[in-house]
Amino acid sequence: MVKSNRNPTDPAPDSQSGQPAGELRPELTPQQPQAAPPEGAEDELNHDIAQLRAQLDEAKERALRFQAELDNYRKRVSRQMEEERRYASLPVIRDMLPVLDNVNRAVDAAQNAADAAKLLEGFRMVARQLQGVLERHHCTEIAALHQPFDPHLHEAITQQPSGDFPPNTVLCVLQPGFQVRDRVVRPSQVIVSAPAAPAEAGAETPLG
């Protein structure tokens, strides 16, 4: 009887390979040959890179051209705005020249004639013409007489006690004011009513 030298704790050998059962065997796999790139792939890649570079150069050139056009547009708008500011008064001056012509004619007529009535009528005509010019340019006289005093439209020179009008009412316009649309060109200089005092009725009090 043949005795076995195998340790009872060792795994039993595999019947086919003779190696212990359960032991993994390294398996040799043949190395796969690396596939060669398709013919012409490198040329196609270089062609794509060249196209991308050309597109990038074109985009850069287009951006520079747009930047130059924008700078030229800004300069042109700036020149136009400066020119408009410089000659903004031309329409008013054109409308004022006929008024100046009539004033000169009235002065010449006053030097050659002694008729004061004709001279007065000539200056009245000039005043009406000038008022029409101002109205065409949206410049109108500020309503002040017998109106409530408005510090945004009126400039009070003095106060005068009055029993006929409530306090802070415009009694007299010393110099008419004008406004263009809703902007005041010059406020009206006015005398404003104050509460009447029996001992000081009719007296004017300068504003402090």
93-129 pLDDT tens trace: 888 888 888 888 777 777 766 667 777 788 888 888 8
Where is pLDDT greater, at 109 or 193? 193
Q: Which of 106, 206, 197, 200 is nearest to 156 (CA)?
A: 206
Whether pLDDT at 143 is above 80: yes
pTM here is 0.54
Whole-number Å distance between alpha carbons of 190 and 185: 16
Give bridge partners of residue 175 from the DSSP assignment. Answer: 189
Q: Using the Cα atoms of residue 75, residue 78, residue 80 and residue 83 in order, give the sign of their dihedral.
A: negative
Model confidence at 201, in pLDDT bands (50, 70, 90)? very low
Query: What pLDDT score was predicted for residue 13?
Result: 55
Instruction: Say if strands 154-162 and 178-180 run parallel, antiparallel, or are unpaired.
Output: unpaired
Name the DSSP letter for residue 199: G
